[in-house]
Each structure stands twice: as structure tokens, then as C-alpha cells.
Amino acid sequence: MNPSIVRSPLFLIFAFVVLTQCEPNSDLPKGDSDNGGLFVPDGFEVVVVADSLGSTRHLAVNDNDDIYVKMRGGKPYGLVGLRDVNHDGKADSIKYFGNYEDKGNYGTAMRIHHGYMYFSTAGEVYRIKLSSNKLVQNEKPEMIVFDDYKNDKHGYEHIAKPIALDEGGNLYVPFGAPGDVCQKLNRIPGAPGEDPCSQLEEHGGIWKFDANKPGQTQKDGKRYATGIRSIVAMDWNKADRTLYIVAHGRDDLNSRNANLFTRWQSAMLPAEEFLKIKEGDNAGWPYYYYDPIKGKRMLNPEYGGDGTKEGKGSEYIQPLIGFPAHWAPNDLFFYTGDQFPYHYKNGAFIAFHGSTNRAPYPQAGYFIAFVPFKDGKPTGNWEVFADGFVGEKPIADVSDATYRPMAIAMGPDGSLYISETVKGKIWRIMFKGDKKNFGETTLAKMELRKNLPHIRTPDEISDNLQKDKAIGGEKIYATYCAPCHQGNGKGAAGRFPPVAHSSWVTGNKAKLINIILNGLVGNIEVGGTGYNGVMPKHSFLTDSEIAEVLTFIRQNFENKTTAITEEEVKTIRQNSKL
């Protein structure tokens, strides 16, 4: 070859491009021999950055590779910083910091934007100015948005505060629905939905705020979109400058409408909706849900639906993808890096935290999905990108899941970081293969993982994990209690309290019966752990059914105490009406 050509700037640029496309990145640390227990496409390596941090939620990576993680609570230390000092991929320095108000014990956001670290609790969005090369940020967090949800006249559920930030200085914050389908009597079988829904005035949508203005309340924001029940996964797509979400669908179609929906349908419906959100959009909540099997918006039974009526569902925005029900999409991230093959450029990664309420069928989700993207829409089917957080056996209860993937972030070199909530483990996923040969053959191997019990569509008969359950109290528990408290009675960490080995169950009979008859709302403590949610009243059960199910609970799940009689339930029911 002519030496003058070899020395030319154009040739050198061409050579650099070719080499970076073909050769592994030598600057990346070595992956673990078992890829941290994960299954990823060929060419990728995984290293466990940290383990056993506690109940971690979302995370972000700074320009200097420091990792910041939002913990579930705020006191005494709600943030943790991780630094890889010797560049082996493992965090050598782990520091907990950030003493701030966190009334909800439910942190659900972490983003780094224009030199600030933004993070949230159930009721507050904070930010801290990042100091260069300093791992622990001692600056007092600045409150940007405050939500006084505990004094909300409608009550409170779905109070997560994910955030997204755009290039124009705007901050997007959802205010979730305080109920499931806008009922005055929340979560009660047969109770009609409110029409028009008064909750939509301040809930069930996304509000836009000034990202740089402290001390804002919801009144200072502008409603950007409405008709969305619950959002945890949200991101601003820089490629088309548009907001995207993956919304959580409603619950309990069978337990509240047993005459219209089977338990299999309740496990399969409705979809978790991947939505492109523009200002003024309406996704139809509480009047409609999206059926991923029919591929249509359907009228909710609380508003006259029966599983076949579409009503005016087509008039609302439609999802780009209707993912299977209850997979719990808890983070969305559009990949902008150059380390991964071009297939992933500007595509969407989604962390599915995993279901809690698919009983009697296997719980599902618990993996990282990928959606190839171009020009504001998917260019192909969704893919399994990272799996192995749970085993390959059916998961009957959420506590059976070894790990529950929660959040996604990208490092400055294009590596992808994943956090999980059970033990507090952080993975770093890197590509070291040949980008030129990355394609359908590689992806086909991951496609086979869709056949595993925690991803595939269950068979209505053979996959029913409770098909051999006895009648009586055990059957009532499986129908009305297991979707939340789980079949093994251990509950779902941070969301549904356990009934196993619980003084709430084995203690005062009258108090326990009253909870079944009248429900329970607000902060409680079970086994030293705080919970904040809604236990709906089950007064629709007969005195005999309540006695049976409470006796079953009091004499199982490590509980060994006396039975509850039908007469005891009858007496308390009568007294509660006085």
C-alpha cells in the first residue's frame, strides 16, 4: 500500500472506525466467570459491582464513573455512593450518606442532569449539586417538588415519583391514582366507578415542572398528560425529544368481577403499556384498560364493561407495545452509548421488577427487556436482554425470586448498570464481542428464554399452581389473600405485609376481624418493617367465610393459635354497624 495513503488523516479515521467496530474494548474490566449469574447475548460480559447493599431502588452513574443509588428509605442514610478505585470493575469504596426527609420510605428515582443528582421519595423530588471527584455529597438536598399525599382527600396509592428531564429545563413527575379504578369504595367487588372521575383533577397523570425551581407543589406544575393509573418506568428519549413511559395496568379483575373474568384472565390482563406521551394525551384510565391479547382498549367492568365491550377505547392513545400483565415495569432507559452493537443504539431497555399478583399462576417478569427503536416507534419485537435474576422453576410467590431487577443506568463508556431490590446487588454489562457479526443468530439464543415459566404465557389448566388446593379457608385465602400476601404468607417486601409469623394475625381476634370487615389504610409496622398502603375491606364475605379464612391463616404460615368462630365474626360485624 502507498505509504502516503497510510499516513493520510482520512485513512487513519477510517482505520479507527473499523478497529473500534471489530475489536473488544481493552479498557473495560474483566467480566465475572459466571457473568454474575446472568444470561446475556453472546459478546457481552457481566461483572458484579457490589452486593448486599440493602434495599436499593434506582441508580445513576456520574461522568467520573461514580455510581449513586437511591435506597428505599431516607433516614439515616438514603443514598449510597460507589467507586471503583483500582479499576477492576468492583466497588472498593462504598459510602452511605444523604440524611433527608422521606415520609413514604419508597424512593423511586435517580437521574444525573446538568451537574445535579435528582432523586425522589414517595412525596418529594430532591436534587444535590455534584461536587467534582467527590464521592460523598454532603450538601443538603434541595427540595424541588413536594407532594403532601398524606393529607390527600382521595387517599393514596401508586405514590411513586419517577422523574424525567428534557433539554429545555423541564422536569416531568407523575401523580399516580389513589385507587385502582376510581371507586368511592376502593377495591370493593361490585362497587361502581366514579363518572366523571374526580381523582383525575390531581391524579392519574403527569405534571411538568421547572427543573431548577425549589419548593414547588403540584399547583406550580402543569398537567402534561392524563388517564394513566401508575408509572414507575419513565424516560426522556433524546433521539426524538419525546417522553415515554411503561405504565402499570390495573389489578384484580377476577376477585372483584368473578362473574366476568376467570383467574387466568386476571393473571393475563390488562397490559403493562409502553406509551409515547405528548402534551395533552389521555390514556383512558379509569374508564379503559388495554387487553394485550385482543390488542384493544376495553371498557372496565366498573364502567359497564364485560371483557368484550370496547366502548370508546379507540379514541384514547394506544400503546406501542402491550406487555403481559403485572410484570411491574420499574425503569425505562433509552440507550445513547456507542459501546454496544448498533442494534441497541437509541433503543429502549425496560426493567421488569416482577409480578406479585398473578396467583394462582406463576409470578412473571423479573428480567431486562430490550425494544429496538427508530423514529419514535419500535422496529421489531421486544427481546430478552438480561435474564437469570430468578431460576428456571415456576415462581409461586414473589419471595421465591432471588433478585428483582429494578433500575437501569448507563456509564460514560456506554456500559449498562442494573440494580435489584431484594439484596441490593449491582451488575455492570459490557460488550466485548465483534459488532460486525452481532445479529439474528445471537438474538435467537435469547429468544428461547421466552419459554421459561417467568416469561411465557401460562397454560390455563396445567400451570395453575393451586389446582390441587383444598376447599374452605385455604381456597378463600388463595382467592382473596394470596394475590397480595402471597401463597406462602410472606408478603411482598415494602408493598404487602406478611401474615406469616405475624402478631397482627395471632393477636387480638376482634382487631383482626375488624381489619377484614373494614379494611386498613395508612402506616403500619409488621415484624419491624414499615408498610404504607390500602387493605380493602372484605365485608362482602359471609361470617362463615371470614371465620374459615382467618382460622386458616391463624393456624398456618408459622402461626399456631386458636380458631375464629362464625359467631365471633357475626358479633363484631353487628357492633361495627352501630
Digit-coded pLDDT (tens) for 332-356: 999 999 999 999 999 999 999 999 9
The pLDDT of residue 23 is 47
Q: What does the pLDDT read at residue 62?
A: 96
Sheet strand arrangement including 329-334 = 329-334, 348-352, 367-371, 383-386
In this prediction, residues 550-578 reach a mean pLDDT of 84
What average pLDDT does this structure show over 505-526?
85
Q: Is the pLDDT of residue 578 over 60?
A: no
Classify the phi-psi angles of 213: left when phi > 0, otherwise alpha if psi is within -120 to 50, otherwise beta.
beta
Residue 131 in grid coordinates: 461536587
Q: How far apart are CA 259 and CA 256, in angstroms?
A: 9
User: What is the rounded average pLDDT of the residues 2-16?
Assistant: 49
Provide the pLDDT for residue 196: 96
Nearest to 245 by CA among 222, 229, 221, 266: 229
Mean confidence (pLDDT) of the chain: 90
Provide the pLDDT confidence category of residue 24 given band limits of 50, 70 and 90. low
Residue 258 has pLDDT above 90, yes or no: no
The predicted pLDDT at position 487 comes to 85
| The pLDDT value given to residue 542 | 87
User: Of 289, 282, 200, 293, nearest to 253 (Cα)?
Assistant: 289
Reported as a single tens digit per residue, the pLDDT across 395-429 is 999 999 999 999 999 999 999 999 999 999 999 99
The alpha-helical segments, DSSP class H, found in 439-565 are: 440-447, 473-476, 482-485, 503-506, 509-518, 543-554
State yes or no: pLDDT of 104 exceeds 70. no
CB 245 within 8 A of CB 275: yes
Which comes out higher in pLDDT, residue 495 or 264? 264
| Res 562: pLDDT | 86
Question: 384 - beta bridge partners?
Answer: 369
In the structure, what pLDDT confidence band is assigned to residue 274 with cuts at 50, 70 and 90? very high
% of the chain with per-residue pLDDT over 90: 63
Instruction: Using pLDDT thresholds of 50, 70 and 90, give the confidence band for residue 478.
Output: confident
Q: Answer yes or no: is pLDDT of 103 > 80.
A: no
Is pLDDT at 247 greater than 70 in this prediction? yes
- 305-314 pLDDT, tens digit per residue, is 999 999 999 9
Of 531 and 58, which is predicted with more confidence?
58
Does residue 2 surpass a pLDDT of 80?
no
Residue 16 pLDDT exceeds 80: no
| CB-neighbour burial class of residue 330 (10 A; exposed 0-12, middle 13-18, buried 19+) | buried
Contacts of 55 (CB under 8 A, 6+ apart): 71, 72, 73, 421, 424, 493, 494
Q: Residues of the chain with pLDDT > 70: what percent?
A: 93
Report which of residues 257 and 225 the model is more confident about: 225
Per-residue pLDDT at 176 exceeds 90: yes
Mean local confidence (pLDDT), 571-577: 83
Ordered by where they begin, the domains of the chain are 21-451 (2.120.10.30), 473-576 (1.10.760.10)
Mean pLDDT on 279-297: 98
What letter would DSSP give residue 205? E
What pLDDT is attached to residue 324?
97
Sign of CA dihedral 358, 362, 365, 366: positive
Q: Is-contact 478 487, C-beta < 8 A?
A: yes
Q: What is the pLDDT of residue 12?
A: 46
Among 99-108, 382-391, 395-404, where is mean pLDDT lowest? Answer: 99-108
Going by pLDDT thresholds of 50, 70 and 90, the confidence category of residue 15 is very low
Q: pLDDT at position 299, please?
A: 98
Calculate mean pLDDT across residues 367-395.
95
Q: What is the pLDDT of residue 20?
A: 46
Band of pLDDT at residue 125, cut at 50, 70 and 90: very high
pTM of the model: 0.85
Strand, coil or helix: 363? strand
Q: How many CB atoms lie within 10 A of CB 378?
A: 15
Classify residue 339 as exposed, middle or buried by CB count within 10 Å of its CB (0-12, 13-18, 19+). Answer: buried
pLDDT score for 177: 94
